[in-house]
Amino acid sequence: MATVHESASASPSFRTGPTRITESAAPQRRPAVLHGQAVLTAADAMRADEIARAVTFYRVVMVIVAGVLATLPWLGGDLSAKWTFAAGLVVYAVAETWFVAAIRRDPDQYCDRNLYPLGISGVFAAFAGVYYCGVFSPAPAMIVMALYVNSLIGSRRYPAVIYGLCAGCQAALAAAVMAGAIPDRGLVVPRDWPLSSQVLVQLIVQGVYLATFLIGRLSRRATAEAFSKVEEVARAVAQRDALLAEARHELERAAWVGEPGRFTDQRVGSFRLGAVVGRGAMGEVYEATRESDGRDAAVKLLHRNVLADPEHVARFAREAEAVATIDSPHVVRVLEVSDPSAPTPYIAMERLTGEHLGAVLQRRRRLPPADVVVMVDHVARGIDAAAARGVVHRDLKPQNVFCAHTERGPVWKILDFGVSKLADEAGTLTGGNAVGTPAYMSPEQARGLDIDHRTDVYALGAIAYRCLTGQPAFSGRDVPMILHEVVYRVPVRPSLLAAELPEDVDRVLAIALAKRREDRFDCGGELADAFAAAVRGALGDRLRRRADALVARYPWGRAIV
C-alpha cells in the first residue's frame, strides 16, 4: 500500500521536498562558448564552428586585400582592368567587414540572406582579378581557397550557387578570351599556346573547382556526423545521470517509509498517527486512522522550523483551507484541516493505494503514448479544478502525480499542495522565494517571477516529455545549471529521443513547454485535448501552424540568445 506523502525533489541536490531557489542559485547567463553563441547540440556546434571560421577567414582576407591594394600601383598591366580589380577588392572588403561585425553582434545574422551579397561581391572581385592577371595565370588558385571555405557552410543552396558562379564565370571569361570576343589584357598571356592547350588548361581549372567543392561538402558531412555522434554520447550520459538522480531520490524516499516519527502514536485532530510515510523540506506525513470510524488517512504536519514563524503557520492554514475546497477526483481529497489556532497545524488527506508516477518510471523508463494520454487528461482536470479555486500547485513532478487504484479503475491524482500559491496573493509560506523542482519549473518560476496556472500547465508538459522520451527535458550537474537550461535553452526534440513519436506530439510539447507563458496552452484541458489529438494524428491545422511558428522562433535543442 502506498500513501499520500511529501515527495522528493528531482534536483541533483538530493534534498527531499521542493527546492527553494536562493539568489546564488538563480539562473544567470553563462558566457557563450564561441562568439556569443552557446554550443548545446551538434547543430549549435557546427554553426559556432562556421562563425569562428568566418571570422578567421575575414582576418586572412583583409591581410591579402591590403597587400594586393598596396602593390597594385607598382604593377603594370591594363589600367582599366587594374582599377576594376581594385574597386572589386574595396567593395568586397567593405561587405566582409559589415558581415563579420553583424555576426559578432548577433549570431543569427549568419544566414543565407546576408551570405549572398557577400558571396556575390567576392566572386566579382575574384574574377576582376582573374581578368587583370590573365585567365591562364595562377590567379584562379586564390578562388580555390575561397571556394573551399564556402563549401563548408551548412546551407544546402548557398555553396552550390557560389560554386556555380565561380565555374560559370571562369568558363565564360576563358571562352570569350579564347574566341577573341574580348581582348586578353592579363599580365600573363599564353601567346604561343595552341587552342587545344588553352582548352585543356581550362578543363583542369574546372576540375580543380569541382574537386574543391566536392571535398568541402564531404568534409562538412563528415564533420556533422562526428558532431552528431558526440552529441549522442553526451545525451546518453546526461540521460544516465538524470535516471541515476531519480533512482537515488527514490531510495532516499523509501528509507523513510515505516519509521516512527515525533508524533507516532499521538492523536492529532480526529486522527491517531502511525509511522512516517514521507518527509520533505516543509513537513512530514504520517499514516493515520480516524478514530471515529477507523478510516485510513494520511496526515501532514509542518516541521519545527516552519512552526517557529507565526506568519508561515497562518499562511499554511489559509492555503490548506483553499486546497480543501478543490472538488475533483483528480486531486487528493482533504478530509480535515486544523484550526488556525491549533498548536500543531495539520492537513488530513485521503489515503491512497497505488504508486506515484516516479515509481512507475523507475520500472519503465518510457510509457506508451496511449498511457500518457490518460495521465495527462486526469492531471489536467486536477490542474483546472485547482485553478478554478485560485490555487497554483507550483511543484508538479512525477513524484506528486499518483496512480490510485480505485473501484473505477486507475485514477491519476495530484498530491502535495504544500508549496501551492493562491492566485490573489503575492507570496506563499515560502517567503517569496522561488520554489519547486528545477527540472519541472517553468522559466518564470525559475527566475523567481510571479506565476499563474500556466506554470502548472508547463510542468504537466515537462512530465509528459519525461514519460514519452525517458529523460527529463532539462538536466545538469547542479541546481543553477538546470535553472539556466530551463530559462535559456529549448529541450531536444522529443522525436529525436523516441523515434516512434508523431511530429504532432513534438508540436504539442513545443507549445506546452514554451518559454513565454503567453505562448502556452491557456489551461490543462487545452493541453490534454491537443495531446490526445496529436497521438491520434488528428491535431488541427491551427495548432500545427501555431506550433510551427513557435519552433521557427525557438528551434528545438537551441539556446535562446
SS3 for 459-490 is HHHHHHHHHHHCCCCCCCCCHHHHHHHHHHEC
Rounded to whole angstroms, the Cα distance separating 82 from 494 reads 57
Rounded to whole angstroms, the Cα distance separating 36 from 103 reads 9
Rounded to whole angstroms, the Cα distance separating 323 from 283 reads 17
Tell me how far CA of residue 344 lies from CA of 31, 314, 340, in angstroms: 49, 12, 9
Contact predicate 383/524, CB 8 Å: yes
Rounded to whole angstroms, the Cα distance separating 125 from 144 reads 14
Q: What's the gap between Cα 440 and its chain centre?
A: 13
Closest CA to 531 of 456, 474, 468: 468
Q: What's the gap between Cα 471 and its chain centre?
A: 13
Rounded to whole angstroms, the Cα distance separating 252 from 479 reads 18
**C-alpha cell of 282?**
516543509
Q: Which residues are catalytic?
A: 395
Q: To which H or E segment does residue 287 belong? A: strand 283-290
DSSP type of residue 428: -
DSSP type of residue 368: -
Q: What angle do CA 289, 294, 300 make, to 5 degrees?
A: 20
Rounded to whole angstroms, the Cα distance separating 223 from 12 reads 33
Q: What's the gap between Cα 289 and its chain centre?
A: 46
